[in-house]
Structure 1
């Protein structure tokens, strides 16, 4: 039958009656629906885009790793610290916080890092003998620290011996005997 073969000519459509006319209308409706479905499918497909600088085309995330996937917390923190300019201060804090792992337990048991300012690390030894020992180990300590946290983080080490008890707290003070003069 000509209606099943494809499009009918305009003259043939005028001659259709009854069931043949209904079949032709149904076929035309199905073709129109298929065209619209194809157009909708093309509109819903993700657009191919070039990811900045890499020249790679990307579609949906899929099974492989992607920038939009959840990231490890450490990676996010390091990215934020670099963006905000905190990396130098965090590196300094790494030296003070990981002191036993950086220099080893033998040295860490006998000295305490006090401060790290402008590349100068101040260490307080538990005894004068250990202060002398740390001064002789200074070059090896600098090498270890440079390998662990970077070459310019610690440039010199200042070793101070143990000190007696002090009434002085903080960077500012007033000359004189202090609170002792009120006893009595």
Structure 2
């Protein structure tokens, strides 16, 4: 058998470009076909969803959606007196308009955490930091007395 292979006429060698051409023909043209694949035009919703997931923006977008729908989530009465200001590492910071509402919100905090976790996802909000209204600054100008009582001691 080995002798028969030696005596057989040699086939003509083809150029390397002919081999590549044969492989391309065998593979067929790169067209989409009847079934959808990644080369087809994609819906904007699908593309944006993939972009958000790839960059890890899902939680940030949910948190900003909560900021936008704050009145729907906590109720109109509560929303009139407080607003969320920041969210980082599971801590939502809420600023209230008065100390009375700060106290009220501290009592409502466990309920708000539960409701926010239903909206955003379980375990997203762990603590609500409540800030009351800021006090006015009594410092006027560049220079002020450090130890002096200042204008608060007027009616002494």
Higher-RCO chain (CA-CA 8 Å, sequence separation at least 6): 2
Instruction: Give the structure 2 partner of residue 92 of structure 1.
Output: 63
Correspondences of 1:51-70 after superposition (within 5 Å): 59-60=33-34, 66=36, 68=40, 70=42
TM-score (norm 2): 0.60
When structure 1 is superposed on structure 2, of 113-122 and 80-89 the one drifting more is 80-89
CA distance in 2, matches of 1:120, 1:149: 13
> Per-residue CA shift, 1:44-79, capped at 9, x if unaligned?
xx99xxxxxxxxxx9425xxxx563541x3443222
**Residue of structure 2 aligned with 1:181, choices 119, 137, 142:** 142
Structure 1 gap ranges (5+): 1-42, 48-57, 168-176
Aligned 8 A contact 1:91 1:153 in 2: no
> Per-residue CA shift, 1:148-182, capped at 9, x if unaligned?
11112211101111112459xxxxxxxxx5x7127
Q: Secondary structure, in 3 states, of the residue corresponding to 2:72?
A: helix
Larger gyration radius, structure 1 or structure 2: 1
CA distance in 2, matches of 1:94, 1:80: 18
Instruction: Give the structure 2 partner of residue 140 of structure 1.
Output: 111
> Per-residue CA shift, 1:85-112, capped at 9, x if unaligned?
2223223322323322222222211101
Q: Secondary structure, in 3 states, of the residue corresponding to 2:129?
A: strand
TM-score (norm 1): 0.52
Q: How many residues align?
A: 115
Instruction: Give the structure 2 partner of residue 111 of structure 1.
Output: 82
Aligned 8 A contact 2:94 2:131 in 1: yes
Structure 2 gap ranges (5+): 1-24, 144-156
Aligned alpha-carbon RMSD (Å): 3.0
